[in-house]
Structure 1
Amino acid sequence: MSDVKQFTYAELEDHKTRKSLWLVIHKKVYDVTAFLDEHPGGDEVLLEEAGRDGTEAFEDVGHSDEARDMLLKMYLGNLAPSEASKNTTTAANGTAQSGTPAASPVRFLMPLIVLIAWYVYRQYFA
Structure 2
Amino acid sequence: MASDPKVLVFEEVAQHNKTKDCWLIVSGKVYDVTPFMDDHPGGDEVLLSATGKDATNDFEDVGHSDSAREMMEKYYIGEIDASTVPLRRTYIPPPQAPYNPDKTPEFLIKILQFLVPLMILGLALAVRYYTKEK
TM-score scaled by length of structure 2: 0.62
Aligned position for 1:28: 29
Residue 51 of structure 1 aligns to a residue whose secondary structure is: coil
Aligned position for 1:72: 73
CA deviation string 1:45-98 (max 9, x = no partner): 0000113211001000000000000110000000113225x245333xx39xxx
Residue 37 of structure 2 aligns to a residue whose secondary structure is: helix
Q: CA deviation at 1:19?
A: 1.2
2: CA distance between counterparts of 1:30 and 1:61? 17
Counterparts in 2 of 1:60 and 1:54: CA distance versus 1, 3 Å: same
Is the 1:25–1:54 contact (alpha carbons within 8 Å) kept by the matching residues of 2?
Answer: yes
Ranked by relative contact order (alpha carbons within 8 Å, sequence separation 6 or more), the top structure is: 2
Aligned position for 2:55: 54
**Structure 1 residues not aligned, in runs of 5+:** 96-126
Percent sequence identity over matched residues?
48
Counterparts in 2 of 1:3 and 1:88: CA distance versus 1, 3 Å: farther
Is the 1:16–1:51 contact (alpha carbons within 8 Å) kept by the matching residues of 2?
Answer: yes
2: CA distance between counterparts of 1:76 and 1:87? 23
Q: CA deviation at 1:26?
A: 0.2
2: CA distance between counterparts of 1:9 and 1:88? 13
Larger strand percent = 1
Residue 31 of structure 2 aligns to a residue whose secondary structure is: strand
Match of 1:68, as an amino acid? R
TM-score scaled by length of structure 1: 0.66
**Structure 2 residues not aligned, in runs of 5+:** 94-134
Is the 1:28–1:75 contact (alpha carbons within 8 Å) kept by the matching residues of 2?
Answer: yes
Aligned position for 1:90: 90
Aligned position for 1:16: 17
Counterparts in 2 of 1:9 and 1:40: CA distance versus 1, 3 Å: same
